[in-house]
Amino acid sequence: MHHRTLGPFQVGAIGLGCMNLSHAYGVPPSPEQAEAVLLRALDLGVTHFDTAALYGFGANETLVGRVLSPYRSRFTLASKCGMTGVDGKRVIDGRPETLKRTCEEALARLHTDVIDLYYLHRWDKQVPVEDSVGALADLVREGKIRAIGLSEVSADTLRRAHAVHPIAALQTEYSLWTRNAEIAALDACRELGVSFVAFSPVGRGFLAAALSSPADVAAFDAKDIRRAMPRFQGDNFVANLRLLEGYKALAAEAGCTPAQLALAWLLAKGGHVLPIPGTTRVAHLEENLAAAEIRLSAGLIEQVETLINQATVAGPRYNAATQTEIDTEEF
């Protein structure tokens, strides 16, 4: 796999988002299946693994630490603080003392002395971002983390944070059907020399053409976070399904799968863009990573962008309550 710059690190162009192995989409895979995915990713040249304290309320960091710590020198390890599980509930807390405590707990779960890239998972709007980043800068000076990242913040907030300490990466949802980063964040990252890490690059499964009818959504696990996302609900989802026939035809024209088309499109959006698809299956992992070798023509890129964009996708990406927790620009 060819490499791209992630802050001070060189990593494979496509990384692995580890969340799915412990969190968010219902019952997680067995420990054996999760271990198989992580080890196969390492075998295939993945050198960028992304986890967080929130995922499984610590379970994902524990999994990554158990499976991958024997190979620690072979990859760049990213995790996140500022959004954790407290008494069974998700809590956003960006106070310096909380971030430092979370880091200590993460280091223990991950079986490592240092986390390469540590993100503020969400900006706690009750705490100046300068204070939260200042705490992370202390962790850099103490040698507990090597670089600082931010997640789901606006270009303006990125600039404020960057003035306190250099920000290595901004992580935000970005895909054909979530284009908010194109308003300002991508340009700000390019201007400041910040890497852009794209999570949910396959549209939470939608751009893999894994869903074909409302019955598929009805079959989601009760704890699947997509149940609360407007794009997967009612008339919005029915409207979005109409995009898939043309999208699958474009993937066939490109000689790849729909998921690979979504990832190849992201890689074509700029050398500072690094997608981190997640999966629970080795076969899907192998399919995703193969997208690094696909090159799309300018004409096909134009066609797919015309088909799927903020004007053609029905519904916002988050419900109103979740939207209040993020800081990204919105169309």
How far apart are the C-alpha atoms of 124 and 94, rounded to whole Å?
5
CB 153 within 8 A of CB 167: no
User: Measured between alpha carbons, how far is residue 242 from residues 34, 212, 246, 314 in Å?
Assistant: 33, 10, 8, 11
Instruction: Give the separation between CA 16 and CA 268, rounded to whole angstroms.
Output: 18
Distance CA 265, CA 291 (A): 9
247 as an active site residue: the answer is: no
Which residues in the chain belong to E strands, given as ranges? Answer: 3-6, 9-12, 16-17, 48-50, 76-81, 83-86, 89-92, 115-120, 145-151, 167-173, 195-199, 273-275
Residues near 167 by Cβ (< 8 Å), separated by ≥ 6? 133, 148, 149, 150, 158, 161, 192, 194
CB 150 within 8 A of CB 171: yes
As a whole number of angstroms, the distance between CA 203 and CA 210 comes to 10
Token representation of residue 20: 């799915």
Catalytic residue (one of 55, 118, 174, 247): 55
Return the C-alpha torsion angle 133, 135, 139, 142, nearest 10: 130
Q: What is residue 130's DSSP assignment?
A: H
Q: Which residues are known catalytic residues?
A: 55
